[in-house]
Amino acid sequence: MLSAEEAIAQLREATKKVAAQTSELREAREARERERAVAAKAAAEARRRGDSGKDWQVLQQRIDLGQTTEFDIIQGFDLSPEARAVRKQMGEDIGKIADERAKEVGEGAELPPNFAAAQAQLAETVARLRDLTP
């Protein structure tokens, strides 16, 4: 049977381990957030230059002015012609990726979960847009 001192020592050690793991997880999350911020900044700069096409260039200008967001564009809340064109292109690109993947691993291959979820979300957005568009 443990003495009170031994039990307290074990609890302190366990607490130290949890604190260390929590710190490691926080640092990893912060590193991912920094990487995402750098990638988002690079994507925005490329859009401003027109590297992603005229539609994205116009949309990035609207994002910069606070008139829309990337989320609104992707989710279908932004109904501008440019946003519609971007969503259409995204759908086509996802379809091409799915086709290429199917060729690589054989017909009937399933998409990875993140692609399948993105494809389902895009299909929902397209359906929602069809309902909103006369």
Which residue is listed with tokens 């949890």?
18
Torsion of CA 3, 5, 8, 10, to 10 degrees: -70
In angstroms, the CA 108 to CA 94 distance is 16
State both tokens at 118.
Answer: 């993105």
Specify the pTM.
Answer: 0.61
Alpha helices in the chain (DSSP H): 4-49, 54-64, 70-75, 81-105, 113-132
**Pair 119, 74 in one domain:** yes
Split the chain (134 residues) into runs of 10 and give each run's mean pLDDT: 80 88 93 95 96 96 97 94 94 85 68 75 75 64
Q: Residue 106: what pLDDT?
A: 64
**Pair 67, 11 in one domain:** no
| Number of structural domains in the chain | 2
**Pair 70, 127 in one domain:** yes
Q: Residue 110: what pLDDT?
A: 67
Q: Which domain holds residue 110?
A: 53-134
Q: Residue 70: what pLDDT?
A: 94
Residue 34 DSSP label: H
Q: Residue 132: what pLDDT?
A: 67
**Pair 34, 82 in one domain:** no
Q: Residue 102: what pLDDT?
A: 76
109, 101 Cβ separation under 8 angstroms? yes
**Pair 109, 75 in one domain:** yes
**Pair 31, 64 in one domain:** no
Q: What sign results for the dihedral spanned by CA atoms 111, 112, 114, 115?
A: negative
Q: Residue 31: what pLDDT?
A: 95
**Pair 40, 61 in one domain:** no
